[in-house]
């Protein structure tokens, strides 16, 4: 009897350090934020006044909230497919490369992961500069007059998406390389004997066997994309005219710029629920297509 109980409890005992930290740093603040979302919290005096659903009502009536949702969705749609696809393509190309370049490319593509995002954002700001920026100077070689990327509403979000793709695809490359290494060579040998083309090998061996990695990469990139904040804050400050005001920025702005913690907490709670539902939906849909060896 004692042995049975011990066996049941033991795993939780081992998990407890992580669970305590998780509870302390995530669950408790989340529950508190949820509580704040039903209140008007005056940060200066510390007074809290119960408002019920008032903050949520204000939130759904705020045009800027919906605009930030729209921007976030555009950002996710623009960033995720490209960083996943580029990650896959580059991983395959690197794996096909022989010699010293292989290590070099792995190193180069991993750089964005270790690079400070603040420094990278400032560097990209210079790259996107209207007259002396590298991107517009490069475009001018082909007779194209590049826009003032960060100051036009219709190009600012594109610029932010480009930085996002740069930021995440290196990480995806590494994950895909790990995935590629896990595929047994015997599948390719058999396909070779059957006379399969390179495309057929990719289509019927590589792609299906990489679906677990693709699933993971897709979900992680999507979650990272929903949470984008630092690049926006540094490069555009949510502008011009809120063109890059994404939901995380909106939450921060309401809380720490406008001191509207109730609405900010309500927006954060909604963001959490939306992200959770979306992740569950994507996970369910993708699981149906995931193949394991």
Partner 1 sequence: MIKKNFLVIILLIALVLTLGVTSVQAEVVELEFWHVFSAEREQAVDEKIDIFNQEHENIEVSHQSVPGWYGGLLEQLQTYAVVGQLPDVTLMGLSMTNFMRTGFNTASLNSYIEEDNYDLGQLDEKMLSFTQHEDETYGFPYAVSTPLLFVNREHFDEAGIEFTREPETWEQVKEWAIELNNLDHTSGGIAFQMDFDVWQFQTMLESFGGEMADLEAQEVLFDEEPGQRVLQYWEELRFEEEAWPLMDGEQAAEEFLAGDLSMIMSTTGNLTTFERDASFDVDAGLLPAEDEYGNPRSTPGGGSGIFILAEEDERQQASWEFVKFMVSETAQPYVVEEMGYMTPNLAVSDPEGIMADFFAEYPLVELSYQHAEEGLSDWFNWPEDTTNRIESRMNDHLISFISGEKTAEEALEASRSDVEAILDW
Q: Please, what is the minimum distance in Å from the beta carbon of residue 192 to partner 1?
A: 56
Contact call for residue 181 and partner 1 (CB under 8 A): no
CB 105 within 8 A of CB 94: yes
Near partner 1 by CB under 8 A, which window of 22-30, 90-98, 146-154, 172-180?
146-154
CB 158 within 8 A of CB 149: yes
87 versus 133: smaller Cβ distance to partner 1: 133
Contact call for residue 151 and partner 1 (CB under 8 A): yes
212 versus 239: smaller Cβ distance to partner 1: 239
Contact call for residue 148 and partner 1 (CB under 8 A): yes
Of residues 185-244, which lie at the interface with partner 1 (CB under 8 A)? 239-242
Candidates 48, 117, 129, 205; binder of partner 1 (CB under 8 A) is 129
Contact call for residue 137 and partner 1 (CB under 8 A): no
Candidates 55, 71, 83, 253; binder of partner 1 (CB under 8 A) is 253
Contact call for residue 16 and partner 1 (CB under 8 A): no
Contact call for residue 152 and partner 1 (CB under 8 A): yes
Contact track, partner 1, 61-100, x by CB under 8 A: ----------------------------------------
151 versus 211: smaller Cβ distance to partner 1: 151
Contact call for residue 123 and partner 1 (CB under 8 A): no
Q: Please, what is the minimum distance in Å from the beta carbon of residue 259 to partner 1?
A: 6
Contact call for residue 49 and partner 1 (CB under 8 A): no
Bin 94: left if φ > 0, else alpha if -120 < ψ < 50, else beta: alpha
Near partner 1 by CB under 8 A, which window of 24-32, 105-113, 150-158, 195-203?
150-158
Candidates 32, 66, 258, 281; binder of partner 1 (CB under 8 A) is 258
Question: Distance (Å, rounded) from C-alpha 61 to C-alpha 56?
Answer: 9
Q: Which residues bind partner 1 (CB under 8 A)?
A: 43-44, 46, 129-132, 148, 150-153, 239-242, 253, 256-259
């Amino acid at each position: 009897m004692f042995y049975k109980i011990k066996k049941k409890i033991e795993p939780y005992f081992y998990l407890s350090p992580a669970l305590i930290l998780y509870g302390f740093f995530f669950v408790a603040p989340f529950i508190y934020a949820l509580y704040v979302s039903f209140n008007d919290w005056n940060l200066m005096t510390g007074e809290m006044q119960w408002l019920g659903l008032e903050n949520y009502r204000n939130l759904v009536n705020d045009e800027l909230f919906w605009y930030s949702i729209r921007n976030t969705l555009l950002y996710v749609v623009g960033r995720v497919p490209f960083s996943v696809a580029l990650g896959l393509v580059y991983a395959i190309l690197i794996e096909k490369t022989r010699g010293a370049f292989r290590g070099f490319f792995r190193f180069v593509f991993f750089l964005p992961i270790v690079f400070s995002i603040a420094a990278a954002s400032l560097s990209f700001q210079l790259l996107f500069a209207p007259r002396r920026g590298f991107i517009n100077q490069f475009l001018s070689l082909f007779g194209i007059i590049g826009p003032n990327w960060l100051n036009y509403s219709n190009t600012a979000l594109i610029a932010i998406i480009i930085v996002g793709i740069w930021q995440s695809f290196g990480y995806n490359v590494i994950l895909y390389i790990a995935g590629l290494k896990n595929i047994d060579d015997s599948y390719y040998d058999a396909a070779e004997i059957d006379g399969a083309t390179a495309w057929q090998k990719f289509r019927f061996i590589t792609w299906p066997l990489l679906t677990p990695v693709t699933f993971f990469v897709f979900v992680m990139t999507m979650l990272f994309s929903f949470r984008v904040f630092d690049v926006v804050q540094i490069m555009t400050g949510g502008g011009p005219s809120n063109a890059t005001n994404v939901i995380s920025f909106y939450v921060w702005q309401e809380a720490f710029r406008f001191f509207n913690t109730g609405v900010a907490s309500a927006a954060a709670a909604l963001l959490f629920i939306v992200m959770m539902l979306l992740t569950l939906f994507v996970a369910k849909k993708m699981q149906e297509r995931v193949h394991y060896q």
